[in-house]
Chains A and B, each alone.
Chain A
Amino acid sequence: MTGMTNEIKHHLTDALLMGYASGNLPEAFDLVVATHISLCDECRARLGSFEAVGGALIDEAADAVDVNDDALESTLRLIEGAPKDPIRIRDTAPEAETVFPEPLRDYVGGDLDAVRWRSIAGGVKQAVLPTSRDATVRLLAIPGGAAMPDHGHHGTELTLVLKGAFRDDDGLFARGDVEVANEDLHHTPIAEPGEVCICLAATDAPLRFKGILPRIAQRFIGI
């Protein structure tokens, strides 16, 4: 169990929730959305309303397509042949709180202590997670008081805070908060003093760093 975060101030946009509801986001974005929703009932409910649109579309009979004559029988055979869906026993008393919600743990192969970090610059560490190639998602660890390299980007960038906090022109971002940035926004997130800030960040285009990292280094790092 991850535990809910009640003080979330920065949420997902309607376009992202609709993209997730319709199954049209790159996998990297799906991961950020699913991780935020694990922490945020407000967006979970908003997602439910967008999924209801899909439900209403599917319910309209106008262009239903006949299934095979024996479809019901073969489905019942499928059900009989399948292993029983195990009844998951839920812990009533939550065990030790984890930093990463379940969908993220699935990609990391564990919680925060299982991440294989690589240093990039200025004390910042990252770990790229494997997803389909239309977008990339990485974990970032920014030391307290340190700045993320200043960059602009071409497409959409999502940054979800999992631990610690950062601040930029849009305000303070703490656990559960997600920043949705587009190409017009040039921001310089700075981790709040003290604790290291752990973020999950997805981009659908390579970042263009200004300053700190020379272009040549970007290719090696894979940012």
Chain B
Amino acid sequence: MNVVVEAEEQDWAALVRRVDRDKDKAAFAALFRHFAPRVKAFLMKSGAGEALAEECTQEVMATLWQKAHMFDPSRASVSTWIYTIARNRKIDALRRQRRPEPEDLPWGPEAEPDQAEVMTLQQESEKLAKAMKKLPEKQRKLIEKAYFGDLSHSEIAAETGLPLGTIKSRIRLALERLRHAMG
């Protein structure tokens, strides 16, 4: 399967919604073509051999289908959400340790994501991606090593110089709305 050409304007969140609501295999295939090769690259950089990376990639993508109803586009972009699924698979399969996860925030129809919030978060995510492309090579490599490699926590440089504050504020607002809807 060939790596698909960059489809920058693709509305990934809408595709995940179609997978969730309509069990739409075409939407899933489009997500798969874009994300599966990237997840596989991530797993191989994290130390998985080719065969294990292939197997885990398929499991990660299957999880995307199964947990599509959990995706909240006002709190994460699709790539961020897939990244967290892949990261958890990495911890499980490569580091062989349990992964404690924060308590879920319950959300149902009464807490449908607000479309304006979704838009802003997606725009902020694109801004972050652009800022990362502009980072000096040395700093970029360090961040890549922290996320894809095995930099221990005491070596991690948390000062990334990236515009993370705005994304944080957007997620914070979405959480407040959620809490409010929950009463």
**Which of A's residues lie within 8 Å of B, judged by CB?**
1-2, 4, 13-19, 21-27, 29-31, 33-35, 37-38, 41-42, 44-46, 48-61, 63-69, 71-72, 74-76, 78-79, 82, 84-85, 87, 90, 92, 101-104, 106-107, 131-132, 155-156
Contacts and interface: CB of A to CB of B under 8 A. Distances in A.
Chain B interface, >50% SS class: helix
Contact of B100 (A45, A49, A106): A106
A52 B106 contact: no
Contacts of A41: 172, 175-176, 179
A78 B147 contact: no
Nearest to B169: A45
The 5 closest A-B pairs by CB, nearest first: A55-B80, A14-B158, A64-B37, A19-B153, A90-B106
B22 interface: no
Contacts of A52: 76-77, 80, 125, 128, 164, 167
B64 to A, nearest CB: 9
9 contacts: A24-B153, A26-B153, A29-B153, A41-B179, A44-B171, A48-B76, A49-B167, A52-B164, A53-B162
Contact of A48 (B66, B106, B156, B168): B168
A132 B99 CA distance: 11
A56 B129 contact: yes
A53 B124 CA distance: 11
A58 B168 contact: no
B101 A57 contact: no
Given A22-B87, A79-B62, A68 B6 contact: no
A85 B69 CA distance: 10
